[in-house]
Chains A and B, each alone.
Chain A
Amino acid sequence: MAQATHRRGLGFYLLAGFFALFVIFLYGPMLVIFILSFQGPTGGLTFPLRGVSTHWFGDLWTSTRYGDLGGAFRRSMILGAMSLLITAVVCLFAGLAFRKRFIGAGPLFYLAITSLVVPGILLGLGISQLFQLLGFRLNWWLSGLGAHLSWTLPFGLLIMFAVLNRFDSSWEEAARDAGATPSQTLRYVTVPILFPGLIAVALFGFTLSYDEMPRSLLTVGGKNTLPIEISNMTTNVTTPALYAIGTVTSVISFAVIAAAFACIALIQKRRARAKRGA
């Protein structure tokens, strides 16, 4: 109590100022892009705003100057969804497997983590070479997906370890003791208890894939994903439409995260209702 009412010293204000700077640095750029995307029809890439409009959002969809934005968006969403699903399923089972100290568990883990450390552009180059050597044509849904998984899987695995840290294996033993088969234990006990954590893993699978660029550059083949498309835009588009696409993609990312939180909240509500005896 005495501590809380004590007069704040210089250190507090210095640190608070530093923290404020940090927050501005973190969210300032995003905020600037967000504001500038509502630039009037005659406005340019910089301040001041010449009126406020949604002109550049409309321009994104109607103009042909921006390449295949719609197609790139669709491809990125599908890739994200595939990464989400594969990451969640593979990381669940990989996480469960790593609980047992099977032979080669250590080296396998480090091999998996290595692909987080290797520069993405090099990994992309390697993947593209490998696929061509094997006689596959580079395609966003094939070599591109592979490149994305090399990024989302190790990440998801690390999160899965954290999730499993709080998982008590005596729950599985209790299920076994009650006569459950391994598949029943998985369906009725392990997955339901881990489900909120699995949503987090899946979410990372999606967002990491959705904005992935270095690994994608050389692996997606003829058709671009959204980050590559936007990156191209920065070099040849000089209108606030660039900011509009930034705002749209950020909103989609936030929407996905919000949907995941809503999903978790819904599960908790359902469990609460089960508890009240519905």
Chain B
Amino acid sequence: MSDASRIDISGVTKLYGPVKAVNNVDLVIEGGSYCCMIGPSGCGKTTLLRMIAGHEAPSSGRIAIGGQDVTHSRTGSRGTALMFQNYALFPHLSLTDNVAFSLRVKGEATEPRRAKAREMLDRVQLSHLADRLPSELSGGQQQRVALARALITNPKVLLLDEPLSALDEFLRLRMRVELKRLQNELGITFIHVTHTQPEAIALADQVVVMDHGLIEQAASPREIYNHPHSPYVARFMGGQNVLAGKVESISGDAATVTTADGHRHDLPSAPGVTPGAEIRFSVRRDRIHILPEAPARNGLTGKVINTEYQGTFVKVALDTGTREEFIIYMPDEAWFARPISVGETIHATWEPAASHHLKGTNNSAGTPLED
């Protein structure tokens, strides 16, 4: 099964007039894995998904599913099923007939196809509503119908276009669990487009971070989170502070960096950098401690501009004189032992191991645009 649902994308470009929606993308998605494509609106993630589904043809490049070139084969014959963002349920058909639609176009007789559809509806716990019309369902129910309609074709690859974005927070978390369970059960490849970071981190075996038609980084969630490729990925995925400085000296792979305000930082691993180079690095927000005095290295000083209690930790935002806020996630115990008030000047420090050199050059802010 797993090789039959592997996806190879090589050199795929999609032009809309002069605009490169997807720009020479190479990507391998292992069969049977859960892949999340993430990026701000207009980054090309949905276009890439629609090209895999066959709703758009690439301007150049090649897409193969299970080793078979499907670049120009017909939608609906390449073993993919797409779940639409707005679900696109047929408003004039009952749930049973919605789910049975693909069997109908294959010429299957009415009774057997309805029986199969009811079975599939049972699987998504909606058999009691089998004769309703889509307009009579809640958003969550509509989504499960869309899922049943996609799965009845026995696809090798299920493509989900922002499947959870229309649901409220509570349902979103529940459906997230449901999707993961379903993927484990079916063992087919899921490709899920989202612009919500926790969703991607929670679901994916492989996270693909995109920006401006390019893949910035494709790796496991842990790798993306701990070793972001570029300042953009670090900022977009969150949980990191991005700092900039000039390389002062190197020894082996390790480097010493000086920031504009004179603080010195140790980077344990920054292969390929040269003294004098301007580089950026990230620091995990939850690996930072507060000190009573300014540290000699690997730290900084800033004025508290905001504190936010988050339940298990407290988010402290510092103004360090750069345009970017420096954020510290403090354990709630530490914070309540010595509360910090807005306006106070504090000193922060971290182990060199919490610093990570950002090799990529994409320095955009990475705030996801609202749809």
Chain A residues engaging chain B, CB cutoff 8 angstroms: 168, 170-171, 173-181, 184, 188-189, 192-193, 271, 274-277
Given contacts A193-B90, A274-B94, contact A177 B55 (CB under 8 A): yes
What's the minimum C-beta distance from B196 to chain A, rounded to whole angstroms? Answer: 21
SS class of chain B's interface: helix, strand, loop or mixed?
loop
Among candidates B77, B91, B131, residue contacting A274 with C-beta atoms closer than 8 Å: B131
CA distance A277 to B96 in the complex (A): 10
Are A174 and B88 neighbours in the complex by a CB distance under 8 Å? yes
A-B Cβ contacts below 8 A, count? 72
Query: Residue among A174, A181, A274 with the most chain B CB within 10 A?
Result: A174
- Identify 4 new A-B residue pairs, CB closer than 8 A, beyond the known A180-B102, A188-B105: A174-B90, A179-B102, A181-B105, A275-B94
CA distance A177 to B157 in the complex (A): 12
What's the minimum C-beta distance from A72 to chain B, rounded to whole angstroms? Answer: 40
| Residue of chain B at shortest CB distance from A273 | B131
Given contacts A275-B131, A275-B132, contact A177 B53 (CB under 8 A): yes
| Residue of chain B at shortest CB distance from A180 | B105
CA distance A193 to B135 in the complex (A): 13
Among candidates B86, B136, B153, residue contacting A178 with C-beta atoms closer than 8 Å: B153
What's the minimum C-beta distance from B121 to chain A, rounded to whole angstroms? Answer: 13
Chain B residues numbered 78-107 whose CB sits less than 8 Å from any CB in chain A: 80-82, 84, 86, 88-92, 94, 101-102, 104-106
Residues of A within 8 A of B86 (CB): 168, 170
Among candidates A171, A177, A271, A274, residue contacting B75 with C-beta atoms closer than 8 Å: A177
| Residue of chain A at shortest CB distance from B99 | A178
Are B84 and A178 neighbours in the complex by a CB distance under 8 Å? no
What's the minimum C-beta distance from A168 to chain B, rounded to whole angstroms? Answer: 7
| Residue of chain B at shortest CB distance from A179 | B76
Per-position contact with A for B50-70: 1 when CB-CB < 8 Å, else 0?
000101000000000000000
Are B88 and A171 neighbours in the complex by a CB distance under 8 Å? yes
Residues of A within 8 A of B82 (CB): 173-174, 177
Are B131 and A277 neighbours in the complex by a CB distance under 8 Å? yes
CA distance A274 to B92 in the complex (A): 10
CA distance A276 to B89 in the complex (A): 18
| Residue of chain B at shortest CB distance from A272 | B133
Given contacts A171-B88, A188-B104, A193-B92, contact A179 B153 (CB under 8 A): yes
CA distance A256 to B92 in the complex (A): 25
Residues of A within 8 A of B104 (CB): 188
Are B55 and A176 neighbours in the complex by a CB distance under 8 Å? yes
Are A173 and B76 neighbours in the complex by a CB distance under 8 Å? no
> Which 4 A-B pairs give the minimum distances between C-beta atoms?
A179-B76, A178-B102, A277-B131, A174-B88
A to B CB contacts below 8 Å, 27 in the list:
A168-B86, A171-B90, A173-B84, A174-B84, A174-B89, A175-B90, A176-B76, A177-B76, A177-B150, A178-B76, A178-B102, A178-B153, A179-B76, A179-B77, A179-B106, A180-B76, A180-B101, A180-B105, A181-B105, A188-B104, A193-B90, A193-B91, A193-B92, A274-B131, A275-B94, A275-B132, A277-B131
CA distance A275 to B97 in the complex (A): 10
CA distance A192 to B133 in the complex (A): 14
B156 at the interface (CB under 8 A from A): no
B6 at the interface (CB under 8 A from A): no
| Residue of chain A at shortest CB distance from B85 | A170
Are B131 and A276 neighbours in the complex by a CB distance under 8 Å? yes
What's the minimum C-beta distance from B22 to chain A, rounded to whole angstroms? Answer: 18
Query: Residue among B75, B81, B86, B105 with the most chain A CB within 10 A?
Result: B105
Residues of B within 8 A of A179 (CB): 75-77, 102, 105-106, 153
B149 at the interface (CB under 8 A from A): yes
Chain B residues numbered 201-260 whose CB sits less than 8 Å from any CB in chain A: none
| Residue of chain A at shortest CB distance from B135 | A275
CA distance A200 to B11 in the complex (A): 49
Are A189 and B75 neighbours in the complex by a CB distance under 8 Å? no
| Residue of chain B at shortest CB distance from A276 | B131
What's the minimum C-beta distance from A174 to chain B, rounded to whole angstroms? Answer: 4
Are A192 and B92 neighbours in the complex by a CB distance under 8 Å? yes
Among candidates A178, A184, A188, A275, residue contacting B149 with C-beta atoms closer than 8 Å: A178
Residues of A within 8 A of B81 (CB): 177-178
Are B131 and A175 neighbours in the complex by a CB distance under 8 Å? no
What's the minimum C-beta distance from B117 to chain A, rounded to whole angstroms? Answer: 12
Residues of A within 8 A of B101 (CB): 175, 178, 180, 188
| Residue of chain B at shortest CB distance from A173 | B55
What's the minimum C-beta distance from B354 to chain A, rounded to whole angstroms? Answer: 45
Residues of A within 8 A of B89 (CB): 174
CA distance A184 to B94 in the complex (A): 18
Are B105 and A178 neighbours in the complex by a CB distance under 8 Å? yes
Are A275 and B133 neighbours in the complex by a CB distance under 8 Å? yes
Residues of A within 8 A of B133 (CB): 271, 275
Residues of B within 8 A of A176 (CB): 55, 75-76
Chain B residues numbered 171-210 whose CB sits less than 8 Å from any CB in chain A: none
Residues of B within 8 A of A168 (CB): 86, 88
CA distance A193 to B98 in the complex (A): 13
Residues of A within 8 A of B105 (CB): 175, 178-181, 184, 188
What's the minimum C-beta distance from B137 to chain A, rounded to whole angstroms? Answer: 11
CA distance A275 to B98 in the complex (A): 12
